[in-house]
Amino acid sequence: MTNRLADATSPYLLQHKDNPVDWWQWGPAALAEARASNRPILLSIGYAACHWCHVMAHESFEDPATAAVMNELFVNIKVDREERPDIDQIYMSALQQLGAQGGWPLTMFLGPDGAPFWGGTYFPKEAKYGQPAFTDVLRTMAGAYASGDPRIAGNREALLHRLREKARPAGQVSIGLNELDDVATRILGIMDPQNGGVQGAPKFPNTPFLELLWRAWERTGRERFRDAALHALDTMSEGGIYDHVGGGYSRYSVDERWLVPHFEKMLYDNAQLLELLALAANETFHPLFRTRAEETVGWLLREMVTPEGAFAASLDADSEGHEGRFYVWTLKELLAALGAADAEFFARHYDITPFGNWEGVSIPNRLKAMERSGADEVRLAVLRDRLLAVRESRVRPGRDDKVLADWNGLMIAALAEAALRLDRPEWLDPAARAFHFIAESMTRGDRLGHSYRDGRLVLPGLSADYAAMSRAALALHKATGEEAYLRRAIGWMDALDAHHRHEDGGYYMTADDAEGLILRPDATVDDAVTNPNALAARNLARLHAVTGEARWLERLDRLMAGLLPRAAPQLYSHAGLLNALDTRLRAPEIVVVGTGEVADALWQAAARLPRLDIALTRVSAAEDLAEDHPAREKARASTQAAAFVCAGQVCSLPVTDPNQLAKAVPQRGATG
């Protein structure tokens, strides 16, 4: 038996390096072994913070008897879905084509050529609750493959056909502002009026939906759209899905009240929520949203910064073999940490009860409505700091410290945007450090890598890496005015177009020179992260606004023309693309021209507007604008510092009072 994971860079793969399973990493050598031995492949995909991945590993992959069956019958390949999302996308799609519910761990059975023929997710070691024992599954699949069972061939051909099929509705699809409003209204109808978020359980933050609702409010002025988004942010920020002691949001809530989290913390969730929190804080001035944004950044900088200055991928849900142990409290622990009076006060405000609110322990939360004075909040903040110090002595959950370019790009952009909105310029420093590490150490020429750990870089990058890091560059350019960031964004978007462009105008996940898979994945739907085509579309809109170059708008319109027909049959799954379409149709540019205190005040007012995707430009004089910029002549005619709100080729009259700037921003704007 030879386990080949010891030299892996992925923390998830390294978690399995001591398994008695003859694990291979994905690659030509593993596929060659399957062909040479004429054995099918058992493909196991997961990630470091995945609770059920750990359960299956402990039950089956650490068990010598189960491992012996795996080693005899299969070539066993272990994949980190965060390091190789292209592989995960192909085989997760295959599982869903079989009519099964997707999830991780993903357990797929493939022929030696990599073609899938059957699969599932978690399989228990022993048969229970209607699920077969894992070893029974192994023997059945291996026997069917060895016997040439025609169902295997049939499944293979049907799956490959479906995976390769590029369904395109006939004719043109027209989706405009009215259709966007209609989708938002339908999403509003499935929101939970009591608990916030989408109805039912489990509950995910689903930031693309919340953003779609927010944009509908911007377009229509109908407050019910905005209020539904704010209600979701409010309840999840008071629920147990939020870490009230240490900051940051968990992946999702297993119940409908946001009380019981699945305790893993992902970089991408917190990045996407940080942007919305800053937006909500600007709109409402409610201290909750600013506080949660600041606490989340505090957690990020305390626990997630790698030695290189970038951001780690995730924190595990488990410690000491138990999910959530690091985060929960008992009343006895509270008494020991705080003393009787402070413990009683904290327990009352955070639902720490004698018998617990979950499995005999308590998850801190503030879901119970309770009056709290300013003095109460100050006292609670001091007590949270004391509990955080006590918690630091516990056994910590594992940290997946690989640096993913796409997830870092999301967080860098979120930090830059939040720094502007919330007037926290010190957040730009960690954002810039992370950016420069990726730009210098994870880039070869104009090509990005995807994952970095322990001095090793996984190349080539994926479309998500280019889209997210270009977005980060544009956000830093907006916040700092440094032209180097704009040049990086342009270079990466050109590289994306050169190596990932799909015939329909969108982008393949993998590059044209990437390792050959059974197909090039090109999904357009949102996953836990907004689809990279949608991120790229917003970048193209921003680049057109900032540079004035028509080529960016041409690429954006080509992308929309190709992808909207694919999105039309399942619009809910394409919220990210719909949000990008809204940017294309409506997002204005604000140009601040001049120097001095008035110009500074206008710039700050523009940066704090609670509107999505406004492009900001600041120049000292009208002559600094491009000759064909629609604001140039109006700026030359102005005798003082002024702001101009532009949509398409039309700009407003000069705005010189920062308090009047919001009124100049249109609701239903003109298309460009």
**DSSP codes of every residue in 469-533:** HHHHHHHHHHHH--HHHHHHHHHHHHHHHHHHB-TTSSB-SS-TTSPP-SS-----S--SS--HH
Q: pLDDT category, 154, cuts 50, 70, 90? A: low
Helix (H) or strand (E) holding 41: strand 41-46
Could you read off the pLDDT of 467-512 as tens digits, one per residue? 999 999 999 999 998 999 999 999 999 999 999 999 988 999 999 9
137 pLDDT more than 90? no
Share of the chain above pLDDT 90, in %: 70
Q: pLDDT category, 455, cuts 50, 70, 90? A: very high
pLDDT given at position 155: 63
**What pTM does this model have?**
0.87
How wide is the angle at C-alpha 387 spanned by C-alphas 371 and 332, nearest 5°? 90
pLDDT given at position 436: 98
What amino acid occupies position 450? H
Q: pLDDT category, 131, cuts 50, 70, 90? A: confident
Could you read off the pLDDT of 573-594 as tens digits, one per residue? 999 999 999 999 888 889 999 9
Share of the chain above pLDDT 70, in %: 95
Q: pLDDT category, 169, cuts 50, 70, 90? A: very low
pLDDT given at position 47: 92
pLDDT given at position 212: 97
Q: Round the CA-based radius of gyration of the chain to a whole number and report it.
A: 26
Contact status, residue 34 vs residue 67, Cβ threshold 8 Å? no
Contact status, residue 332 vs residue 323, Cβ threshold 8 Å? no
Could you read off the pLDDT of 282-312 as tens digits, one per residue? 999 999 999 999 999 999 999 999 999 999 9
- Could you tell me how many helices (H) and strands (E) the chain has, helices first? 25, 21
What 3-state class would DSSP assign to 222?
Answer: coil
Residue 38 CA to residue 590 CA, distance in Å, equals: 63
What is the DSSP secondary-structure string of 482-494? -HHHHHHHHHHHH
Residue 13, both tokens: 């793969």
Could you read off the pLDDT of 103-127 as tens digits, one per residue? 889 999 998 888 888 888 898 888 7
377 pLDDT more than 90? yes
Residue 587 CA to residue 599 CA, distance in Å, equals: 22
> With b meaning 16 or more CB within 10 Å and e meaning fewer, what string describes 594-608?
beeebbebbbebbbb
Q: Please give the domain boundaries of the chain with CATH numbers for all domains.
A: 11-164 (3.40.30.10), 177-317+400-586 (1.50.10.10), 327-393 (no CATH), 589-664 (3.40.30)
Q: pLDDT category, 366, cuts 50, 70, 90? A: very high
Mean pLDDT, to the nearest integer, of 247-255? 97
Mean pLDDT, to the nearest integer, of 178-188? 93
pLDDT given at position 667: 62
Helices (H), 38-149: 51-56, 64-73, 85-97, 134-146
Mean pLDDT of the chain: 91
Could you read off the pLDDT of 595-637 as tens digits, one per residue? 999 999 999 999 888 888 888 888 889 888 877 788 888 888 8
164 pLDDT more than 70? no
464 pLDDT more than 80? yes
Helix (H) or strand (E) holding 589: strand 589-593
56 pLDDT more than 80? yes
Residue in this structure with the two tokens 């210098």, named with its chain if needed: 440
559 pLDDT more than 60? yes
Q: pLDDT category, 414, cuts 50, 70, 90? A: very high
Mean pLDDT, to the nearest integer, of 343-358? 97
- Lowest-pLDDT choice from 11-15, 153-157, 470-474: 153-157
Q: pLDDT category, 130, cuts 50, 70, 90? A: low
Mean pLDDT, to the nearest integer, of 438-456? 96
pLDDT given at position 129: 59
Residue 664, both tokens: 């100049």
Residue 111 CA to residue 116 CA, distance in Å, equals: 6
Q: pLDDT category, 545, cuts 50, 70, 90? A: confident
Mean pLDDT, to the nearest integer, of 447-473? 97
Instruction: For residue 20, give Cα distances in angstroms to 69, 121, 597, 614.
Output: 11, 21, 68, 55
Contact status, residue 87 vs residue 26, Cβ threshold 8 Å? yes
